[in-house]
Structure 1
């Protein structure tokens, strides 16, 4: 079994203090994709560097304490790609990819959030408009591909705690959901989680509202999108909520690879 974990840590140093790397190591994953590391590589905590049995790649934002993505992999990659080719986005440290022997590629993606206001929502939507071409290009490479990440979009009604409460909110806007429709229906990426887990109230992020975490008033915005050739190989998909490392929860998917 080939285990892939994706997790937005909302600060790798804070998550390390809360036991994330102890938990991660116990899961024995083959690949781990992280988002929102919020640290330059020289600021990484010892826990993030002491995993000698993993190869790692980090992409930092130019702005300290902001954004950042990473991948850990048991197998040494043949190639590491840092960035999307969009200078404005790459300065924020939002994409890293590993290519492995045998043809598998795995990427960690952190889509911009629009929560701080209209200006950042415009940045987010501009990124989505451009990035769909990247998604089409990666899909058409013709080999198995997994793009893990915080997409900052809840795609379907089932992916939010209340359609009525969340409508009109960034992350659940009609144009964002239509973009996700396009990614799945036209470009052809597959939401691996929903292939094997169709249960309700499966959320990966909770706002800072009082009681949101305790009452599971969340959103599912963290995904593993896969090429169709991997769809028959998805065996299990879970969200880990027994400990809290971040405002997001890790998503683990097991593949028969």
Structure 2
């Protein structure tokens, strides 16, 4: 099973830069996209609806910001939108495709600007609620792969300019400790780091130019029974579709064929 996740920061701009031309040639079973930046009904071009995939969108309430999507080659049994968090679901941050015994999620975590104390509090509230949610779903005897822009760099190795970004949201100790708890207490894992420990692997460049100030905030996080099935991971940087680069992960796992 191949899953590609990508934070578009405008699916329209990414499409103009050739994202769909590229991604539809990658033999992916699932494509997760975050920060769509436009309501689904405004996407009129066929490029957004590749014929080999079943696309599902979850728009933010304003139809302009955020928004997530998941493209499935095989029909899922169900699609879930939102996480049941009243303060966040209107922002269009999460969509999930359920198959027989595995769920694939497309997540856009909240962000906070430097000096934005209210935004940081809100971001921390989201992650606390999300940790409780992931704790509960562990008991459902189903596996999970949550793909997306987590807006956290887990370790110093995931930030190109550690000193220059010290104290900035996304690199704060309490944020990194949240991921530590997720991995240690709930036995989830950062799939990419299971197969690649290189220090120069970044997926986001806030300045828009790869080569400086890189961060690795785009992750596919797996539940414990999927961890030994991770086979391959790469961040695609040959072409630039936006400030983020697509993350490609391969798993030794077969999704069930569509019944239709």
> TM-score scaled to structure 1, two decimals?
0.94
Over aligned residue pairs, what C-alpha RMSD do you find? 1.4
What is the aligned residue count? 252
3-state SS of paired residue (1:88): coil
Task: Give the aligned partner of residue 256 of structure 2.
Answer: none
> TM-score scaled to structure 2, two decimals?
0.93
Task: Give the aligned partner of residue 109 of structure 1.
Answer: 107
| 5+ residue gaps, structure 1 | none
| 5+ residue gaps, structure 2 | 254-260
8 Å contact 1:139–1:189 — kept in the other structure? Answer: no
Q: Distance in 2 between matches of 1:122 and 1:48?
A: 38
Q: Does 1:23 align with 2:19?
A: no
Q: Distance in 2 between matches of 1:69 and 1:76?
A: 18
Task: Give the aligned partner of residue 33 of structure 2.
Answer: 34
1:145-172, CA deviations, whole angstroms, 9 ceiling, x for partnerless residues? Answer: 1000100000011111132222200000
Q: Distance in 2 between matches of 1:53 and 1:175?
A: 42
Task: Give the aligned partner of residue 232 of structure 1.
Answer: 228
8 Å contact 2:49–2:55 — kept in the other structure? Answer: no
Measured after TM superposition, the shift of residue 50 of structure 1 is 3.3
Task: Give the aligned partner of residue 258 of structure 2.
Answer: none
Which contiguous aligned blocks of 4+ residues in structure 1 show a shift greater than 4 angstroms?
A: none
Q: Does 1:154 align with 2:162?
A: no
1:6-61, CA deviations, whole angstroms, 9 ceiling, x for partnerless residues? Answer: 10000011111111111110101000111000111111252444312111111000
Task: Give the aligned partner of residue 54 of structure 1.
Answer: 53
Q: Distance in 2 between matches of 1:182 and 1:214?
A: 31
Aligned 1:54-73 pairs, distance under 5 A: 54-73=53-72
Aligned 1:65-144 pairs, distance under 5 A: 65-101=64-100, 103-115=101-113, 117-144=116-143
Q: Distance in 2 between matches of 1:115 and 1:139?
A: 32
Q: Distance in 2 between matches of 1:232 and 1:173?
A: 29
Task: Give the aligned partner of residue 2 of structure 2.
Answer: 3
